Amino acid sequence: MKDLAHALTAANAAVFSSLGLDAKHAEVRRSDRPDLGEFQCNGALAAAKSAGKKPPEIAQSVAGAWNATELASTPTIAGPGFLNFKVTPQALANRAQVIADDARAGASVVEHPRRVVVDYGGPNVAKGMHVGHLRASIIGESVRRIYRFRGDQVWGDAHFGDWGFQMGLVITALEDELGGFDDRAKLDARLQSLTLEQLEAIYPAYAAKVKGGDIETRDRARKATAALQGGSALHREIWKAMRDVSMAAQKRDFASLGVDFDLWLGESDADPLIPDMVKDLDAKGLLEEDQGARIVRVAGPGETKKKKLEDGTVVEVESPDPLLVVSSEGSAMYGTTDLATIVQRVRDQKPDLILYVVDQRQADHFEQVYRAAAKAGYIAREQLEHVGFGTMNGSDGKPFKTRAGGVLKLNDLIGQAEEKARERLKENEIDADFSKEEFEDVAHKVAIAAIKFADLSNFRGTSYIFDLDRFMSFEGKTGPYLLYQAVRIKSILRKAEEQGVAPGPITVEHEAERALTLALDAFDGALTAAYDKKAPHFLAEHAHTLAQAFSGFFANCPILPSEGAVRASRLALAGAALKQLTLTLDLLGIDVPERM
């Protein structure tokens, strides 16, 4: 299934070849200058050098030899040798018809499907879901859907943070609270009554204690971590109670956000692989003793950086830093777990590619892990990719905080967005004939669409400013706008059904019909860009241009009020637009209500 740009490129390549020009310069793409043409080819400029001719001459000969007149009229030449193409109404109509008849709405699939693990979400058992997990979850979910839609076999893995030092720290806090774990009945009762809210309160308090220089607590927590990982039944039992409480709450939060996983695994699931892995690393001669810990050096020859020590002296050290595999207490660090998780995934999913949708700030860490994995021969370096993203900031440009300065819980954030959605619905008097259930469902969908679209319309790598009022706004490039466009089309299709009006063969005559068809045609390009770059914002952008193109069509081309073949054609175009818009939004993880 080729879009118009590919069809034009193929036709143009044939012309280039027939003129003895290198076909690689024949690429045709959407025009930057809609006033001059719908598609453009810049290849005459690039081909000029090797052909030993001037660009305008080449452009002239290409135009003269153009023979795909069923596709586009003879290209015009502008500037220093740009070729501008205008597609024929028939070719546009054909393309629109193909999209209308295609369940995938014109989207292609990958030539060679791969096995891909997408690691995202990454909630921490001791912390509970807050806005910090929003981007990882939203972007990861979208990447998972995009990869699967393109034809790859995909596993999304939550990779719960349920195994590190934080678990030892929370266990230590509980020990302090109970005055030790000797009283079995007391411990059981406490574990029974444990809530996520309590865990969320305990962890930051103790983390602050340790950070503030409480060496004694730190060492006890490290020992507790080592005990847990060493298989202590008591520690394991306490850990399990904490994990269960946390997991249940997080599953609810993920469901509310419309984020799902194929594998609900965590760091602890990779733990059983660690002893053998450490032996293996040792056997391969990769482990070294260093300051009581065991490390793997990952820097290549000549890779160094300067480092300033605490006493002020500057020394030359290897770069990247070595990966710390076994701490001086004998416990696993997060790098250890990440490495073991690679071993686990290679064993279980045999992935061609593992994508880590994790905060950009962890780039150095992943570089260490990836190099270590490659060095140990577990997987090739190119099969591991960190899909990093920027932070979500408050209006002050700093990482998002509540007015009180704390972290905003995910559940509260969604609640705030829903409340704004309810206000909007009521202001527009949409709620009159809605049941309470439908009203709440629509409010929820509008809220999630607003939050997700705001996030996904920015390139993932850059940080963005979170402004709920703007995201939920009446006007503009927002999630609610896109839902509104989709819902308008649904309304038309319902009315057509009631009136017994059926879609028919598509013709493209009106300027707004051309624009809509060209927007529909651009879907595959947006999809492949999003796929190749692991960047959903290309699809968010597409959803917006498509919605706008439809809106222009809607305003200029009456559908039901028109008649006969024109009405049937426009109805088919509207149906195609709805199908593709719904699909695009689904790839972003956004659900469309029936009406709003």
Subset of residues 99 to 138 that bind RNA, contact rule: CB under 7 A: 122, 124
The verdict on 361 binding RNA (CB under 7 A) reads yes
CA distances from residue 353 to 88, 215, 323, 375 in whole angstroms, order as listed: 42, 41, 22, 17
Using alpha carbons, select from 349, 355, 409, 364 the residue that is nearest to residue 387. 355
Distance from the Cα of residue 206 to its chain's centroid:
33
84 binds RNA (CB under 7 A): yes
Query: What does the block give as tokens for 518?
Result: 């060209």
Q: Which of 61, 250, 268, 458 binds RNA (CB under 7 A)?
A: 458
Q: What is the total count of residues that contact RNA (CB under 7 A)?
A: 111
Of positions 12, 31, 344, 569, contacts RNA by CB under 7 A: 31
Residues with Cβ < 8 Å from 458, sequence gap 6 or more? 464, 537
In the complex, minimum distance from the CB of residue 192 to RNA, in angstroms, rounded to a whole number: 27
Site for RNA in 293-312 (CB under 7 A): 293, 295, 305-308
Q: Is 73 in the site for RNA (CB under 7 A)?
A: no
Closer Cβ to RNA, 152 or 329, answer by number: 329
Residues numbered 436 to 455 that lie near RNA (CB under 7 A) are: 446
In the bound state with RNA, the residue whose beta carbon lies nearer, of 187 and 520, is 520
Beta bridge partners of 41: 28, 83
CB 417, min distance to RNA, A: 12
Show the tokens assigned to 77: 């030449």
Verify binding: residue 542, RNA, rule CB under 7 A.
no
Cα–Cα distance, 243 to 163 (Å, whole number): 10
Pairing of strands 353-359, 384-389: parallel
216 binds RNA (CB under 7 A): no
Q: In Å, how far are 340, 408, 567 from 467, measured between CA atoms?
A: 39, 13, 42
| Residue 139 beta carbon to RNA: minimum distance, rounded to whole angstroms | 12
CA distances from 177 to 163, 184, 203, 264, 544 (A): 21, 14, 13, 31, 54
Nearer to RNA, 253 or 455 (CB): 455
- Binding window for RNA (CB under 7 A); candidates: 66-74, 188-196, 327-335, 583-591: 327-335
Nearer to RNA, 183 or 474 (CB): 474
Is residue 418 at the binding interface for RNA, with CB under 7 A as the rule?
no
Binding residue for RNA, selected from 4, 11, 15, 45, defined by CB under 7 A: 45
Please identify which residue in 10, 14, 19, 36 interacts with RNA, judged by CB under 7 A: 36
Which one of 235, 424, 445, 542 is in contact with RNA (CB under 7 A)?
424
CB-CB contact of 375 with 286 (8 Å): yes
328 forms part of the interface with RNA (CB under 7 A): yes
Least Å from the CB of residue 105 to RNA:
19
Nearer to RNA, 222 or 452 (CB): 222
Closer by beta carbon to RNA, 382 or else 563:
563
The residues, ordered by sequence, that sit 6+ positions from 255 with a Cβ below 8 Å of its Cβ are none
Q: Within 381-410, which residues bind RNA (CB under 7 A)?
A: 391, 393, 397-399
Q: Which is nearer to RNA, 187 or 512 (CB)?
A: 512
Among candidate residues 338, 336, 306, the one with its CA nearest the CA of residue 319: 306
Query: CB–CB of 502/571 below 8 Å?
Result: yes
Question: Whole-number minimum distance, CB 575 to RNA, in Å?
Answer: 13
Residue in the block written with tokens 């707004």: 512
Contact with RNA (CB under 7 A) among 464, 504, 510, 566: 464
The helix/strand count (H/E) of the chain reads as 22, 15
**252 is a contact residue toward RNA (CB under 7 A):** no
Give residues 549-568 in contact with RNA (rule: CB under 7 A): 551-552, 554-561
Nearest to 41 by CA among 71, 20, 13, 18: 13
Q: Does 480 bind RNA (CB under 7 A)?
A: yes
Q: How far apart are the first and last CA of the chain?
A: 34
Binding residues among 505-524 for RNA as defined by CB under 7 A: none
Looking only at residues 137 through 166 of this chain, which bind RNA when binding is defined by CB under 7 A?
161, 164-166
Q: Which is nearer to RNA, 203 or 378 (CB)?
A: 203
Contact stretch for RNA (CB under 7 A) within 101-109, 182-190, 248-256, 315-323: 315-323
- Residues 44-62 as b or e (16 or more Cβ within 10 Å = b): bbbbbeebebebbebbbbb
Of residues 144 and 159, the one with the C-beta less far from RNA = 159
Q: Which of 16, 82, 370, 400 binds RNA (CB under 7 A)?
A: 82
Cα separation, 506 vs 552, in Å, equals 18
Least CB distance from residue 236 to RNA, whole Å? 16
Give the interface segment with RNA, choosing from 66-74, 184-192, 407-415, 548-556 (CB under 7 A): 548-556
Of 109, 474, 497, 502, the residue at the interface with RNA (CB under 7 A) is: 474
How many angstroms separate the Cα of 184 from the Cα of each of 187, 233, 243?
5, 13, 20
334 lines the binding site for RNA (CB under 7 A):
yes
Return the residue matching tokens 């160094």: 304
In angstroms, the CA 517 to CA 508 distance is 8
What DSSP string runs through 455-483? HHTS-TTS-EE--HHHHT-SSSSSHHHHH
| CB nearer to RNA: pick between 93 and 482 | 482
Q: Provide the H-helix boundaries in 428-536.
A: 436-456, 468-471, 479-499, 511-521, 523-533
